[in-house]
Amino acid sequence: MPHWYNGQLRILQTVLRETDIIDYDARSVVAYMKKAHANVLVVNAGGIVDFFHNDVEPVHFNPFMREEQEILSDLCDVLHAEGMKIICRVDFRGVQKYRYEARPDWFARRSDGSPKQNHQGLYVPCYMSYYANEHAAHFIRRLMTRFPLDGIWENSVAFGAGMCYCPRCRESYRAEHGTEIPAEEEAASPSFAAYRAWRKARADEHIRFLRAAVKEFGEDKAYVAEVFGMYHAQASLDSGIDTYTAEHFDFIVGVGFLTGAPHGRPYDELPYAASATRFLKAIDPKKTTVLLTGNNGTKWRLVKDPALKTRMWMWEAVAVGANLWNCLFNGMHPDATYDRRNAYIESDVYGYLEKNQALIQGQVPVREVAILFSKPTRDMFGHDDEEKDRYGVGIRGLETVLNDAHIPYGFITERDLSPEALADVRVLCLPNCACLSDGEVTVIRDYVRGGGSLLASHMTALYDENGKIRPDFALADVLGLSSTGMVKDTSQDCYQMIRQKDHPLLDGMGAERTRFFINGGETLLTAPDGAGEVVATYVPIIPNQYPEQAWIRDEDTRFPTVYGHGHGAGRVVYFANNMEAMVYRNGHEDFWHLVHNALRWLSGGRWMLECDAPDTTHVHLLKDRDRPGSFLVSCVNHLAGMGRTVHPAAACTVTLRLAAMSGATVKTLYGEDGSEAAIINQSVADGYLTLQIAIPEFCEFFSVYVGAE
Ligand SMILES: [Zn+2]
């Protein structure tokens, strides 16, 4: 029996500040939600500061809460009267000094026995502490007994969850490992896998414990908690809580703000909203997927985020099947806060979701190309600072090519890698996917032998899942070459020499008119087995300075940078450098074309979706997870997001190649000014329906549903 949280969720969260309770008016919140087409409110209950008349000691009331005021009661009444749901935000990240002093044994300890405080001066608990468990469960039970809530949002579950030396942690670690918890400096090192596994297990236990407290009130009470995105390597290493933790939640929620960009950048790339959603879909495609974002952002919380970019951010997420969560950090609602300029900008995105939920809610990305997300590789080679990141940037570069070329793709996590998961995948991509287990290697080898295609680069399969280096690629037979172990810095003044100018991997690159292509990053020197095709090779550094001596005697090496190979019934392309990452970091078109040509060559034919739109129009293909013959084509105009005014996307033609269908109809779900998509042509041959759809000019977003006739 499906519960409400298995359906569509259009969430408004108001993270209230203490002063926001003054003159709080539940009716005006609901009025905003109705106009914005929201159906769930997430609002503060308590933890650090209580927004209700809590009697679970140690309490800390909001000093502005009046005696007769009970906003949660008011909200439950008006929301439920409108058929809307209410989830309460609880936050057990820490307490004020006086509360700590009343119960010092409920909290975390440093190795010298002193209490742990966070940057905000709060005294923090650990995953095993009484405060975060028994107390938190008691608090939640009391809350849910008092008010007819529909669920609990555990905020900041991973905050300040660094090392702890409280008696409970010490005993648990000793019982499991027979040794003491390592010193703080040591445990930060990657070699402490055992410690991190222990901590992750405690984090999971804690999550399960609080979930159980919520579920005492019925299966239809939702439990969700805050986890960060796929690239947040440090948050995961520090806390043991990762996006995978979302499997314990009733719906899959991931944090993805436009202003949640990687270290050192104000705004993220717009496609990341879709990328994050694709990743969440891979965690559990059966559950509702929600991207937690916000009109007013998360960095400069008192002013709006760039308005047009914010809309494009939402459209990108929605285009690949996300539901949305609009999180506001001050004020009663987006039209009653400091900066109201972005109030209601989500209304037509939410309205689109609401109106079309029957057709779009079960849609998941079509995965002709699958990117393997390897958490062990992310933990070892990923970094929050893109300059130091050696994993996430490769995924981002690969996605740039996939988005630019309108190729249908999605993620597979290493936990789900299996012959079944790969059944419909035409090209599996392993961008510098260094850490692979023997089991994963076997699945990949069988997949290629059976006719699957593989794109791999740089250190792929050179380490095991625990980060231990292997003597050679575990996939050496599949890749058709061996590692020499030598890595060259090719970030400056480096090139790739063309060896086979007519090879399809160099299509359209003008190979007949150049000796070299650009190189970048690092290049691993490898020894090919002789059965494959060396398409380009590593060239030693040719310094630019001084110009008269900018030449070397021997440009010729035997080390491939681009290597094509057959294995069993499958095809393989191996890049010895960080080719995909260079698409993102460097942006030179040689990198782009080499990756794109590899994908094309590996596909062995045409994609399920092809489109003549330029790369500024992103075209996403989704299919219904439950209903065969049911698809969604969503277009997002990135020209619009480049400036402060919208520049329309030109009309284009989408061609779909659909198996086991004899005819189709289309229905425009979102366009501009009543413009509609139309079928230009459809024909059946070799068991495939070829369907040509004309997409008219549009401004931000266009969406068309395709159904079997
Ligand atoms: Zn502890």
Phi and psi angles of residue 31, each rounded to the nearest 5 degrees, phi first = -60, -40
C-alpha count within 13 angstroms, C-beta hemisphere, residue 3: 15
Cβ proximity of 409 and 370 under 8 Å: yes
Cβ proximity of 583 and 577 under 8 Å: no
Sorting pLDDT into bands at 50, 70 and 90, what band is 632? very high
Distance 337 CA to ligand 1 centre (A): 39
- The mean of the pLDDT values for the chain is 95
Distance 205 CA to ligand 1 centre (A): 13
Distance 166 CA to ligand 1 centre (A): 4
Q: Which residue has the tokens 């009543």?
A: 674
CA distances to 49, 179, 372 from 190, rounded to whole Å, are 37, 18, 22
Average pLDDT over residues 632-657: 91
Distance 80 CA to ligand 1 centre (A): 40
Distance 17 CA to ligand 1 centre (A): 29
**What element of type H or E holds 620?**
strand 617-624
Helices then strands, counting H and E runs in the chain, come out as 18, 28
Distance 697 CA to ligand 1 centre (A): 58
Average pLDDT over residues 698-706: 97
C-alpha count within 13 angstroms, C-beta hemisphere, residue 284: 18
Sorting pLDDT into bands at 50, 70 and 90, what band is 185? confident
pLDDT of residue 117: 94
pLDDT of residue 52: 98
Predicted confidence (pLDDT) per residue in 392-410, tens digit? 999 999 999 999 999 999 9
pLDDT of residue 91: 96
Sorting pLDDT into bands at 50, 70 and 90, what band is 192? confident
Distance 170 CA to ligand 1 centre (A): 7
Distance 159 CA to ligand 1 centre (A): 14
Average pLDDT over residues 139-155: 97
Cis peptide before 58 (omega within 30 of 0): yes
Average pLDDT over residues 483-512: 97
Structure-model confidence comparison of residues 137 and 674, the more confident one: 137
Distance 59 CA to ligand 1 centre (A): 22
Distance 50 CA to ligand 1 centre (A): 24
Average pLDDT over residues 555-563: 96
The C-alpha atoms of residue 461 and residue 539 are separated, in whole angstroms, by 24
**Largest Cα–Cα distance in the chain?**
87
Distance 226 CA to ligand 1 centre (A): 20
Distance 164 CA to ligand 1 centre (A): 4
Distance 335 CA to ligand 1 centre (A): 42
Return the percentage of the chain with pLDDT > 90, whole number: 88
List % helix, strand, coil for the chain (3-state, nearest 5): 30, 25, 45
pLDDT of residue 265: 84
**What element of type H or E holds 86?**
strand 85-91
Distance 128 CA to ligand 1 centre (A): 5
CA distances to 152, 246, 297, 347, 370 from 229, rounded to whole Å, are 21, 11, 16, 25, 18
Neighbours of 594 (CB within 10 A): 29
Distance 109 CA to ligand 1 centre (A): 6
Answer whether residue 187 shows pLDDT above 80.
no
pLDDT of residue 191: 67
Average pLDDT over residues 699-703: 96
Predicted confidence (pLDDT) per residue in 130-139, tens digit? 999 999 999 9
Average pLDDT over residues 349-377: 97
Cβ proximity of 63 and 18 under 8 Å: yes
Sorting pLDDT into bands at 50, 70 and 90, what band is 235? confident
Average pLDDT over residues 105-125: 94
pLDDT of residue 244: 83
Distance 165 CA to ligand 1 centre (A): 5
Predicted confidence (pLDDT) per residue in 160-179, tens digit? 568 899 999 999 999 999 99
Return the percentage of the chain with pLDDT > 70, whole number: 99
Answer whether residue 601 shows pLDDT above 70.
yes
Answer whether residue 641 shows pLDDT above 80.
no
Distance 495 CA to ligand 1 centre (A): 53
Distance 127 CA to ligand 1 centre (A): 6
Sorting pLDDT into bands at 50, 70 and 90, what band is 64? very high
Distance 213 CA to ligand 1 centre (A): 21
Predicted confidence (pLDDT) per residue in 196-208, tens digit? 889 889 999 999 9
Distance 655 CA to ligand 1 centre (A): 57
Answer whether residue 649 shows pLDDT above 70.
yes
Answer whether residue 233 shows pLDDT above 90.
no
Answer whether residue 28 shows pLDDT above 90.
yes
Angle between helices 167-177 and 193-215 (to 10 degrees): 120
Answer whether residue 369 shows pLDDT above 90.
yes
Distance 224 CA to ligand 1 centre (A): 23
Average pLDDT over residues 154-164: 80
Distance 167 CA to ligand 1 centre (A): 7
Distance 125 CA to ligand 1 centre (A): 7
Please tell me the least confidently modeled range out of 140-154, 198-212, 491-505.
198-212
